[in-house]
């Protein structure tokens, strides 16, 4: 993060009433995965959520990106997966969910433009 962006971010946080968890000791310090994990767990504890890790954020992002865009090919690239089926399994889209969507789909119920 650039120094200007970092200063703006910290200024915004100071004005808000939300507890600040993600801050660095030094403005130029590197935010390591271990630090991220610790801070994320503090925030999760504050929110009353258990079993949260850095990887949880990645999977949650993937799930909601797919739900919003239905672009599995782009998500596969973003997550650096070898195949779309790996990505679907990773974000928890199961065969059963796919079949349920297909059962509801009908070409004849779609409006043609």
Q: Does residue 101 sit in the same domain as residue 83?
A: yes
Q: How many domains does the chain have?
A: 2
pLDDT at residue 65, rounded to an integer? 95
pLDDT at residue 55, rounded to an integer? 87
Q: What is the pLDDT of residues 46-76, one digit of tens each?
A: 888 888 888 888 999 999 999 999 999 999 9
**Do residues 75 and 61 lie in contact, with contact meaning Cβ atoms separated by under 8 Å?**
no
pLDDT at residue 1, rounded to an integer? 47
Q: Does residue 48 sit in the same domain as residue 62?
A: no
Question: Does residue 38 form part of some domain?
Answer: yes
Low-confidence ranges of the chain (pLDDT < 50): 1
pLDDT at residue 46, rounded to an integer? 84
């Amino acid at each position: 993060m650039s120094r200007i962006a970092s200063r703006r971010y910290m200024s915004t946080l100071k004005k808000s009433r939300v507890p600040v968890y993600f801050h660095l000791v030094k403005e130029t310090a590197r935010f390591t995965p271990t630090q991220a994990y610790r801070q994320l767990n503090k925030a999760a504890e504050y929110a009353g959520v258990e079993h949260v890790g850095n990887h949880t954020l990645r999977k949650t992002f993937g799930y909601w990106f797919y739900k919003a865009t239905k672009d599995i090919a782009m998500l596969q690239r973003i997550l650096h997966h070898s195949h779309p089926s790996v990505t679907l399994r990773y974000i928890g889209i199961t065969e059963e969910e796919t079949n349920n969507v297909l059962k509801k789909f009908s070409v004849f119920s779609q409006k043609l433009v």
